[in-house]
Structure 1
C-alpha cells in the first residue's frame, strides 16, 4: 500500500481524571505474575503487540502526528531502527508478561536508545533502557571495571521491567503516567499531579507543565506504536521477528578473551559485543565461568566444542585493587611479575599508585601473556583531544586510520571504534586488543582522541 502523510488537524485528547496515586512510602515492589494459562501463539512479535496493546488512541494529537510523519518521511531509517530490536524484543516481551504489563512497552527502547545497548546520553544514562546511575543502583545493576550491567541487554531489561512495574502500579496503571514517570521521574510527576488536583485543574499528563522532553516523550511512543499496530495502513513492512527467542546462551569455563571467542563462534567481534554489551573490556570478567549470548541456532554446535575451546583459551590475567601499603614492587613480587610489565600494561607514567586503583596483573611471564590490552574508554562530557590522547598515547589520526574514517567523519551514537589492529582478529604476534567505545551525540574524532 502506498505510504502517505497525515494532516496535522485532529483534535487533542480530552482531559480525564485519573486514579489516585499510591504514596511512595507505602508502595511495595511489584511481584511477577504466575503463568496459569498456556501461552498464545502469534505469527510474530508485532502481532503479539498489536492484538494486546492497551493504549491505542482513536484520536491522535498533533504532536503524535508530527512524529508519525517524521517516521514516514524516512522509511529506510524506520526499517533500520526496527531491525535493531531483533535479538532483544522477544526477551523484553517475555519480561513484560511476567509482570502483566502492556506489551507495547517493548517498543520503549526504540524511543530510549534506538534499541542500542551501547547508547550513552549526554547526562550519563546508559543502555537499552537509559538507566541513570542512581536508578541502576536501586535495581542492583553492577558497575565494575570489567562489567557494566546497564549495557547488558538482558540484565538491564529485567531491571527496567521491574521499574516499569513499580511505576505502573504507583500511578494507577495509567500508561501515560507510567511513561511520563519513566522519563521525568516519579517524584516530579506526583508533585505536578497533586498540585493540579489542589488547584482544581486537569490532571491529564499534557496539562501538568512537565518538562518539554517529557511532554514529547509520550507522543513519540504513541507514534511508533501507531505505526506498528497499523503498519499495513501506512505501507510499512515490519521485519519478520518471530514470537520466540532468537537468542541463546553458552557457558564457558573461566575468563574468556572476546576476540578468541569470536573466532571460535565464527562471528564478528562487533556482533559479540552487541549481544554482550555489558562486557566493556577486552575479556569477560574474571571468574569460574563466563556466559555469552549468541544466536540460538549456534548453541548446540558451540556447546559440543566448548570444552576444547576453554582448555586452549584460558586467560592468565587478574585485577588487583590497590590497598594501603601497596607499591608496584610489592604487587609485582606477590604475583611473580615485573614492575616494568605492570607499568606497561596499565599505562603508568610514574611509580605512584592511588588507593582503590585497579591494575591488570599478568599471571605468567611467558611471551604469549605479555600483550597489552587497551582499557575501554567511555566518552564523557569534558573529554578533549589532549586529556584522552595523553591518557592512551594515541592520536585522532590513528583512530581514523584504524576505523577507515576521514578526520571530518561524523560519528554515530553507539559506533564501535577499533583502537589498535584494524583486522582485530587475534594473532600470537598481536600486542593490542580492540575495545568497544561508546560515542555520544556531539562527539567527534578530536573529542574521542
Structure 2
C-alpha cells in the first residue's frame, strides 16, 4: 500500500545481518566507530561523536542471545504468526540497539492512539496486535506524509482513501483524521484478510505493496507456495522487510524495559468535545475565543488543511478541548461562538422617523488610565495561611499579573498576615438614558429617565468593564452579543479592554 522511504532503508540494511559473537557478554557497550577524545576529534580521519552518541557511552545496552528473544516472542499472545529468524533479528536489533530513540518515541505516543485503535479492532473483531501496524506505517504521526503521496496514521494513498470514504478537498484531507482513517484501515485490512483466506501475513504484505504485487509473487513462486516466507524472495524489496519489521516492533514495544529503553514522558489523548460548524469559520479567530493558539486547535483537527472553513462545510464536527467546551453549555452559547468567529455581515441601517430615539449616538472611546482608575476602589486583603495568588485572584475576579503589579511582587511567594492592595469596581450610579417623548406636533424631545424604569429597543446598553473582564465574557453576560459587534460599536481594533472602560453594547 505504501512505499515508505523509512522501510526502504530498513530493507537495504537488512541485507547485512548484525553479527553477534556467541561468546559475547550478555550486556555490552556498543559503538560503531572507535572512540576519540575531544582533542583528537579534530585530527584528520578522526570520528566525531554527536551528543546523542556521547550519551551512549554511559548507557548499558543489552545484547540478548537469539534463544532469549525467540522465547520472549513465543510468550506473546498473537493471532498473527511471529516467525523468528536472522532477518527478523536484524530488525529487532534496529529497534532495540541502533535506533533506541525511535522506540522511546513510540512508547511516549502509544497511549494517545492505541485506545482508539483498540476500539475499532474490537468493533470489527480483529486481532489486537494490529494496532502496532501504525508504528510501522507512520510512527504514530497523523500528519505523516510519504514521498509517493501516502498520508496519515495508516498511510492511505489518495485513491484507496477515496475508495474507503475518506474525503479529500482543498480544505480537508480525512486520511489525516485519526478516527475516520482508523475505521477505514480496519475495513481495508479485514477485506485483505478475507481475500487471502485468513492469512494475516499475506494481508499485511498486500496492505504495503498492493494485492497485484502479492499475487504476482505467488505466481512466480509456483508449486502451490502461498505463505509469506515461501514467496518472500519474489516480493518487492520494501515488502520483504515489512512483515519482519511488524514482528520487531511488537517485540520492542513489549520488551523495551528488558533492553533498558524507557520514555521520560508519556502522552495521552486530550479529552475533546465536538462543535458543529454551521457556517463559514475562521479557525484562528475561533481559537482566540476559546483561549487557544491556532496551532493547538489545528492539532486537534489534523485533517483540516487550512485555517478557514467555507460555507460548504456545513454541520462539520470540529474537535475542541473538553475543558473549553464546558464554556459552551447550551446551543445558544455555541451559536454565539460561531457568530463571533465568522465574518459579521454589515447590518442595514433602520429608516429614521420622527418618533425614533433623538439622543445623539456617541462612539465610545477607550478609557484613559485616569478614567479607568477613577472608577475603581482600593481594598485591602489580608493573606491567610494556605492562601496563594491563584486562589486570591480567582476569589476577587482579578488576574495574578494584576495582583503582582498592584503590590510590587517579584514572585508568587506570600506570607500569612501579608496585606495585599486590590482594585475593585466602584459602586456606579444607575446609567441614565434618553427616552423619546412623542409630541402632537410630531416633534421629538427627550427627558432623563433611570434605565430600570423604561427599556426601549433603541436604548444604548452600556457595560462598565471590570477587572478580569474579556470581550467573550461580556458577550455571554448579554445574551450572546457577538464579540465582533461589540468591537464595531466601540471602534476597537483589537480585543484589549481596560477596567473602568465603558462599552456600548447596543
Give the TM-score normalised by the residue count of structure 2. 0.49
Cα distance change on mapping 1:265 and 1:81 into 2, 3 Å: farther
Q: Distance in 2 between matches of 1:159 and 1:200?
A: 32
Cα distance change on mapping 1:51 and 1:303 into 2, 3 Å: farther
Residue 127 of structure 1 deviates from its aligned partner by 1.4
Equivalent residues in 2 for 1:198-347, closer than 5 Å: 198-201=222-225, 203-205=227-229, 207-208=231-232, 209-237=234-262, 246-286=271-311, 287-303=313-329, 305-315=333-343
Residue 133 of structure 1 deviates from its aligned partner by 1.7
Equivalent residues in 2 for 1:31-180, closer than 5 Å: 53-55=78-80, 57=82, 60-73=84-97, 74-180=99-205
Aligned residue-pair number: 283
Contact 1:279/1:285 (8 A) holds in 2: no
Residue 93 of structure 1 deviates from its aligned partner by 1.5
Point out which structure has higher relative CO (alpha carbons under 8 A, 6+ apart).
1
Cα distance change on mapping 1:7 and 1:280 into 2, 3 Å: same
Structure 1 residue matching 2:275: 3-state secondary structure: strand
Equivalent residues in 2 for 1:434-449, closer than 5 Å: none
Q: Which runs of 4+ in 1 moved over 6 A?
A: 10-13, 427-430
Structure 1 residue matching 2:257: 3-state secondary structure: coil
Structure 2 residue matching 1:105: 3-state secondary structure: helix
Contact 1:12/1:62 (8 A) holds in 2: no
Contact 2:109/2:267 (8 A) holds in 1: no
Deviation string 1:80-106 (CA, Å, 9 cap, x unpaired) is 234345433322211111111111211
Residue 316 of structure 1 deviates from its aligned partner by 6.7
Q: Distance in 1 between matches of 2:219 and 2:196?
A: 12
Residue 7 of structure 1 deviates from its aligned partner by 5.4
Q: Distance in 2 between matches of 1:255 and 1:223?
A: 47
Cα distance change on mapping 1:268 and 1:78 into 2, 3 Å: farther
Q: Distance in 2 between matches of 1:247 and 1:148?
A: 20
Contact 2:114/2:131 (8 A) holds in 1: yes
Q: Distance in 1 between matches of 2:325 and 2:200?
A: 38
Q: Distance in 2 between matches of 1:7 and 1:219?
A: 18
Residue 166 of structure 1 deviates from its aligned partner by 0.6
Cα distance change on mapping 1:261 and 1:312 into 2, 3 Å: closer
Q: Which ranges of structure 1 fall in alignment gaps of 5 or more residues?
A: 14-49, 318-426, 431-449
Structure 2 residue matching 1:60: 3-state secondary structure: coil
Cα distance change on mapping 1:76 and 1:192 into 2, 3 Å: closer
Structure 1 residue matching 2:94: 3-state secondary structure: helix
Structure 2 residue matching 1:150: 3-state secondary structure: helix
The structure with the larger Rg is 2
Residue 230 of structure 1 deviates from its aligned partner by 2.7
More strand by share: 2
Contact 1:256/1:290 (8 A) holds in 2: no
Q: Which ranges of structure 2 fall in alignment gaps of 5 or more residues?
A: 1-26, 28-58, 346-486, 495-506
Cα distance change on mapping 1:125 and 1:167 into 2, 3 Å: same
Q: Distance in 2 between matches of 1:98 and 1:316?
A: 44
Q: CA RMSD in A?
A: 3.6
Q: Distance in 2 between matches of 1:122 and 1:114?
A: 15
